[in-house]
């Protein structure tokens, strides 16, 4: 039986990378996997477990069919390695740090995916992006503006509020996964 694709979305700064890191050990010990994104950003990017590549290398990987999913946002290119298909075929649940703007395309490839939307109070979101200190003030404003016009009216999305404690959000995500995806 195929594993489930847990497609985590949310505004830049809402805590997707932090949440995936917080649940990583328990997801892996339950036989699940967490996809490592490929991003055209410096490998030193603060607070994320992504593979940083040049735009040229990204295009080469894309041409070689290396990605199961890929999209562009925030002036960057993001890719999800095709390895997730092997994991899913092995019956493993796979968590992906996804994009709200790419959900429709992701659904075309994975009709059974489980969408999870991380939400954060707007003012808290701004503070977190500033505190993370990875983007310039201009890039932060652009991300906040993007959040203002990316609309997700998909009622099937499970919503997780990450405005409070990360540990509590992690427990909520694990309950959600156990409830819907893991035996």
Ligand X SMILES: O=P(O)(O)OC[C@H]1O[C@H](OP(=O)(O)OP(=O)(O)O)[C@H](O)[C@@H]1O
Ligand Y SMILES: Nc1ncnc2c1ncn2[C@@H]1O[C@H](COP(=O)(O)OP(=O)(O)O)[C@@H](O)[C@H]1O
First to last CA, the chain: 11
For residues 15 and 125, the answer to whether their CB atoms sit within 8 Å is no
Dihedral sign for Cα atoms in the order 63, 68, 72, 74: negative
Both tokens assigned to 126: 């701004």
Establish if 52 lies at the interface with ligand X (CB under 6 A): no
Identity of the residue, 42 or 90, whose beta carbon is nearer to ligand X in the bound complex? 42
Q: Are strands 94-97 and 114-119 parallel, antiparallel or unpaired?
A: unpaired
Q: Which of 21, 31, 62, 101 binds ligand X (CB under 6 A)?
A: 101
Q: Is residue 154 a known part of a binding site?
A: no
Establish if 131 lies at the interface with ligand Y (CB under 6 A): yes
Q: Which of 3, 5, 7, 16 binds ligand Y (CB under 6 A)?
A: 16
Encode 5-23: b = buried (16+ Cβ within 10 Å), e = exposed: bbbbbbbbbbbbbbbbbbb
Identity of the residue, 42 or 60, whose beta carbon is nearer to ligand Y in the bound complex? 42
Q: Which of 7, 58, 67, 78 binds ligand X (CB under 6 A)?
A: 78
Supply the minimum distance, in Å, between the C-beta of residue 73 and ligand X: 3
Establish if 97 lies at the interface with ligand X (CB under 6 A): yes
Q: Is residue 14 a known part of a binding site?
A: yes
Encode 114-143: b = buried (16+ Cβ within 10 Å), e = exposed: bbbbbbbeeeebbebbeebebbeeeebeeb
Encoded one letter per residue, x for contact with ligand Y by CB under 6 A and - for no contact, window 46-85 reads -x--------------------------------------
Supply the minimum distance, in Å, between the C-beta of residue 123 and ligand Y: 13
| CA distances (Å), origin 64, targets 56, 60, 129, 181 | 12, 6, 34, 31
Q: Which of 3, 10, 32, 115 binds ligand Y (CB under 6 A)?
A: 10
Q: Is residue 115 a known part of a binding site?
A: no
Q: Which of 4, 5, 7, 12 binds ligand Y (CB under 6 A)?
A: 12
Binders of ligand Y: how many residues, by CB under 6 A?
A: 16
């Amino acid at each position: 039986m195929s594993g489930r694709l847990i497609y985590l979305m949310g505004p830049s700064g809402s805590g997707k990378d932090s949440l995936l890191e917080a649940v990583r050990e328990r997801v892996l010990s339950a036989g699940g996997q967490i996809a490592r994104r490929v991003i055209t950003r410096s490998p030193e990017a603060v607070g994320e477990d992504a593979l940083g590549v040049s735009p040229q290398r990204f295009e080469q990987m894309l041409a070689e069919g290396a990605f199961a999913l890929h999209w562009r946002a925030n002036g960057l290119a993001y890719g999800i390695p095709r390895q997730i298909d092997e994991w899913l075929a092995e019956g493993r649940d796979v968590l992906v740090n996804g994009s709200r703007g790419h959900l429709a395309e992701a659904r075309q490839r994975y009709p059974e995916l489980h969408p999870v939307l991380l939400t954060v109070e707007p003012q808290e979101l701004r503070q977190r992006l500033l505190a993370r200190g990875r983007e310039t003030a201009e890039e932060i404003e652009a991300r906040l503006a993007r959040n203002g016009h990316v609309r997700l009216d998909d009622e099937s999305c499970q919503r997780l509020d990450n405005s409070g404690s990360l540990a509590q959000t992690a427990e909520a995500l694990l309950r959600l996964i156990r409830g819907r995806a893991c035996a």
